[in-house]
Amino acid sequence: MVYIKRAITSVIKKRLQTSKCLLLTGARQVGKSTLIKHTFPNFNKANFDDNLTRLQAK
What is the SS3 string spanning 8-34? CHHHHHHHCCCCCCCCCCCCCCCCHHH
Mean pLDDT of 2-24: 91
Provide the residue ranges of all domains of the chain, joining segments of one domain with +.
9-57
Instruction: With a cut of 90, say whether residue 57 has pLDDT above it.
Output: no
pTM, whole model, 2 decimals? 0.72
Q: What is the rounded average pLDDT for all residues in the chain?
A: 90
Q: Over 90: is that where the pLDDT of 44 sits? A: no
Neighbouring residues of 3: CB distance < 8 A, sequence distance ≥ 6:
34, 38
Amino acid identity of 36? I
